[in-house]
Structure 1
Amino acid sequence: MEILAAAELLIPKLGEAKLHTEQTLGHKVESIRDEDKILFHRHIADLHRYSKDPDALPLLELAGPRHKLFFNPSQTRLGIVTCGGLCPGINTIIRSIVFTAYQYYGVEAVYGFRYGYSGLNPKVGLPPLKLDLDSVDNIHALGGTILGSSRGPQDAKVMVDYLEKLGINILFVVGGDGTMRGALDLAKEIAKRQLTIALVGVPKTIDNDIAFIERSFGFESAVEEATRIIAAAHMEAKGAVNGIGLVKLMGRESGFIAANATLASCVVNFCLIPEAPFKLEKFLQDLERRIKKRHHAVIVVAEGAGQDLLPDSKSTFDKSGNKRLNDIGAFLKNEIVKYFTQKNLEANVRYIDPSYAIRSVAPTGDDNVFCLMLGQSAVHAAMSGRTAMIVGYRNDHFIHLPMTLVTRFRKKLEINGRTWKTVLDTTGQVDYK
C-alpha cells in the first residue's frame, strides 16, 4: 500500500477564489466545501499507522462544483488537448468539458488543440478548432478523438507563448503519464511567468495503470471488446484439429486488461501478464497436456509479458518515452509451432492481435457515464482556480490529485491479490516460474 504524507495530497491553486458561484451564474448551485474530504486509505490496518499523529492522515479533496470561483466565466477561454494513443471515451470527455463549460458556467469560448502537443506549437501544428455545443453534440457515440492525437513533447516556452497569445485561461490535458509529465513542464513555465492559467489533467490509459486511481476511462470498453475477440479465438480453436487461439492484448507493464478479459470470457486456459514472469518450457509442457486432453486451448498474453524470453535487442523508445517492446505474440506463436513440430503433434495456431481495433471502439454506456462525470469534475476544479492536478476516481468518489503523484510510477496488478488469484483458479494454470 502506498504511504503518503498529508501534504503530498494538497492541490495547488492559482489564488483565492472570490466570486460567489450563485451570484456569478445566476442560479442555485449545490456546491462542495473544500473541507469535504475522504480518506486516501480504505483498510483499517493502513489507518493504524496514523493513530499517533492524526494530522498526518492523508485525505483527498472531493471533486465537484465549488461555492466560489476564481475565474469569471464570461471572460474565460478554455482549451482542450488530447495526447498519446487512442482510447474509448476521449470524445465523451471532450463533449463533457464543452457542455459543462457553456451550459453550466457560460464561458466565453472553448478551443480544441489538434494532434496533441503539436497543436500548441503554431510552427508545426494546425490551428485550433473553436468548439461549441453543436460541434460536439453527438461525438460521445464515436471512437477516437475529433481533435486528433500524437505522441511526443513540444517546447514548454513555445506552448505557453501560444496559450498567452490566444488568451487561454484554462487548459485541459487528456493523456497518460508521459502526457502528464509534459503538462507538469507547462505548469512550471506558467508558474515561472506568474500567469493565471489553470492546468487540469484527465488521466487517459487504456491499460488502467495510472498510479493512485482505481479506474481509468476506456478500460471497461477495452475489456468488453477484448472479450468478444477472445470468444472468436475460442471458436477458431475449437474448429481446428488441436486448435490454439492466441490473443495478444494491451498491457505494457500491467496486465489489467488481459486478466479482466480472461475472467469475463470464461474460456481462457492460459493468461500471461508482465507482473507474473513465466518459464517458456513449463508453459509449453502444460499447453501440450491441455491439447492432448481437450484438443483445443485459448491463450491470452499481454504485450509486455515475457519480454525476458525474447532475443536481446537494443532498447529504443517511442516519442512518448515508452520502451519499444518485442512482439511476444509472434514469438509465442513461433515457439508453440516449433515445440509441437518437435513432438510430432499437430497444432493449428490462430494468432490475433486486435490492439488498434480495441483502442478505437466507441465507449460502453457505463464508460460514457464515467467520462461525463470526469469531464464535469475537471471543469469544476479548473474554474475554482485549481491547477497542476488531475481528476480521478478512488474509494467510490471522484477526487482531485496533484499531477506530481500520477507521474511517479505505473500501477500494476497485484499477483497476490484477489483478481490474479481468481484468474489462476478460473484458468487452472499454474505458476510457470
Structure 2
Amino acid sequence: MTPAPPDTSIPTLGPCRFPSPLHHFGTVEAPFKTETDRILYHSHLLEDGRDVSTPSYEEAGPREKIYFDPPKTTVGIVTCGGLCPGLNDIIRGIVMRCHHQYGVARTYGFRYGYEGLVQRYGHTPLLLRPNSVEQAHHFGGTLLGSSRGQQDIGEMVDTLEDMKVDILFVIGGDGTLRGAAEIVKEIERRGLKKAVVGIPKTIDNDIRFLDKSFGFETAFDAAVQAVKCAYVEATGAVNGVGLVKLMGRDSGFIACYAALAGSNVDFVLIPEVKFELEGDGGLLESLRLRLLKRRNAVIVVAEGAGQHLMETGDATDASGNKKYGDIGQFLKDRINGYFKSRKTEVNLKYIDPSYIVRSVPANAQDNVYCSRLAQSAVHAAMGGKTGMLVGRWHGSFVHLPLELVIHGRRKVDPTQELWHSVLECTGQPAVMK
C-alpha cells in the first residue's frame, strides 16, 4: 500500500480580504470551498482493519475571500520541459479564467521555458488576452515554446519583481516542479508576496499522489495507433515482428495502457521489470517460441526499459537527467542478429512514434481535464495559495504541496493489478531470465 504523505498543508501568503468576483458570476452562487473541505488520502481500510482516513488533501475550488485584488494583479505563465498534449489547453484555460472570471489586469506568457524568466536571453514575454488564445486548444505543442535545463533562480525572481508579477503558473514535469520549489524559497527569502502554483505535466504519468497527469490519455491513444500499425506489419510477413518504442523513462504506464487497449501485443517491456535477452527464459528465446506458435509477434518497449543491457555511461542531458541508450534500436539489432545466427527468416519492422505521440492536440477527455486543472489553479492562486500544485485524487481536484511530489516518481508496481492485467493480455512470461 502507498504510504500516506507526511504533510499535505498548503502555504498561504496571508489573510484574504477581497470579496471574490465569483459572487457576481451569473445568478448561481459559486461553490466556494474552505480549508476544512478535504479529500481523504485513503479510500479504504488497511489490511488489519485500522481506519486510515485521517490524512487528507485540501480540496480545490473557489474561495469566498481572495488574497489578490484582481484589477491590480499581474499573472505569468511558463511551460517547461518536453512537449505534451494539452499544454495549450492549460494556457488557454488560465488566461480565460483570469480574464473572464476574475478580471485580472495582465497575463504574460514567458517564452521558451525558464529561459524566458532570465532577461539576458532576450525572450520578450507575450501579453496574453482571450482573443489570442481562444483557438489554442486546437493545436499541439505550446504557443509559448519550451526548453530544458536549469536557470539562475535569483535572475528569475528578479524578472518577476521587475515585471511586478504577483502570480506565476508553472507548467511542467518533475524537474520543472523542483525549479518551482526553488523559486518559492527565493521569494520567501526576499520577503515577497508572490504566489507560485504548479500544474504537473508529464506524458509518462509518473507524478506521485495523483490519479493521472494531463495529456496521458491522449498520448496512449496515439500510441495505440502505432501498436495497431505494428500488428498489421507483423501479420503481413513470414515471422513478422512489430517493435514499437514508446515514451517512459522510468515509468511504463504508456506501454502498459497501449498494450491493453491494442490487445494485439505479445511482449511489454517496462523499466520497472528487468528482463534478459539470452538463455532459455530470455526475451529472444521466448520470441522464437512465440513465432513458432503464431508466426508473428508485437513487442512494445518503454524507452527506459532494458538500460542494464547497454553501456550508457554517465552522460546527462540539459536538465541533469541521465542519458539513456536507445533500447529500440538495440533490440532491433539484437533480434535480427539472433535469428540470423540461427539461419531463420525474420521480418522486423521498427516504429518509434515518440514525437508524434507527444505533439498531437489533446483529445476531448484531456481537453476537459486541462480546463478544470487550469480553473483549479487560478482559484488557488487568487486565494493566495503558493508552493503547491493542483491535481486530481479519487476523482476530486486537490491542492498538493510542491515538496510532497518532487521527491521520486510514480511507477508501475509489478505486484499490482495493472501489470498482472498486462501479463494476462499478452501471455508473456512473468519473468524473462
**Superposed pair shares fold, TM > 0.5:** yes
Q: Tell me the residue number matched to 1:159.
A: 156
Query: Residue deviations 1:204-250, cap 9 Å, x none?
Result: 00000011111000000010000001111111111122110000000
**Where in structure 1 are there 5+ consecutive unaligned residues?**
none
Asked if residue 409 in structure 1 is aligned to residue 415 in structure 2, the reply is: no
Answering whether residue 339 of structure 2 is matched by residue 340 of structure 1, we say: yes
Contact 1:208 1:216 in 2 (8 A): yes
Give the direction of change, closer, same or farther, for the CA distance of 1:271–1:26 in structure 2 (3 Å limit). Answer: closer
State the partner residue of 1:214: 211
C-alpha displacement of 1:43: 2.0
Q: Superposed, which structure 2 residues align to 1:101-120 within 5 Å?
A: 101-120=98-117
The match for 1:298 is 298
How much does 1:26 deviate? 6.8
Match of 1:330 in 2: 329
Q: Distance in 1 between matches of 2:22 and 2:276?
A: 66
Find 1:202's aligned residue among 199, 202, 221: 199
1:46–1:365 Cα change, 3 Å: farther
Q: What are the superposed Cα offsets for residues 367-406 of structure 1, whole Å, 9 maximum, x if unpaired?
A: 0000000000000000000001000111111100000011
Answer yes or no: is the 8 Å Cα contact 1:175–1:205 preserved in 2.
yes
Which residue of structure 2 aligns with residue 170 of structure 1?
167
SS of 2:389's equivalent in the other structure is strand
Say whether 1:179 aligns with 2:176.
Answer: yes
Answer whether contact 2:263 2:425 (CA < 8 A) is retained: yes
Contact 1:249 1:355 (C-alpha < 8 Å) held by counterparts = yes
Counterparts of 1:47 and 1:403, CA distance in 2: 32
- Alignment partner, residue 273 of structure 1: 270
Q: How does 1:115-154 map to 2 (within 5 A)?
A: 115-154=112-151
Query: Which residue of the partner structure matches residue 3 of structure 2?
Result: 3
Matches of 1:365 and 1:60, distance apart in 2: 27
Which residue of the partner structure matches residue 224 of structure 2?
227
CA 1:10/1:47 → structure 2, altered by over 3 Å: closer, same or farther?
Answer: farther
% of aligned pairs identical? 51
SS at match of 2:414: coil
Deviation at 1:291, TM superposition (A): 1.0
The count of aligned residue pairs is 427
- Provide the C-alpha distance between the structure 1 equivalents of 2:170 and 2:355, rounded to a whole number of angstroms: 22
Cα distance in 2 between the residues matched to 1:217 and 1:424 = 26
- Give the AA of the match of 1:32: K
RMSD: 1.5
Return the match for 1:189 from 186, 189, 201: 186
Q: Is the 8 Å Cα contact of residues 221 and 367 (structure 1) preserved in structure 2?
A: yes
Structure 1: how far apart are the matches of 2:222 and 2:196?
33
Over 3 Å counting, the alpha-carbon distance change for 1:327 and 1:205 in structure 2 is: same
Is the Cα contact below 8 Å between 1:21 and 1:68 reproduced in 2?
yes
CA contact (8 A) 1:198 1:388 kept: yes
State the secondary structure of the residue aligned to 1:349: strand
How far apart, in 2, do the equivalents of 1:387 and 1:23 lie? 21
Equivalent residue for 1:89, pick from 62, 86, 111 = 86
Q: Is the 8 A contact 2:22 2:102 kept in 1?
A: no
Identify if the C-alpha distance between structure 1 residues 333 and 26 changes in structure 2 by more than 3 Å, giving closer, same or farther. closer
* 8 Å CA contact retained: 2:111, 2:126: yes
C-alpha separation between the residues in 1 aligned to 2:402 and 2:98? 22
User: Does the CA contact (< 8 Å) of 1:70 and 1:384 recur in 2?
Assistant: yes
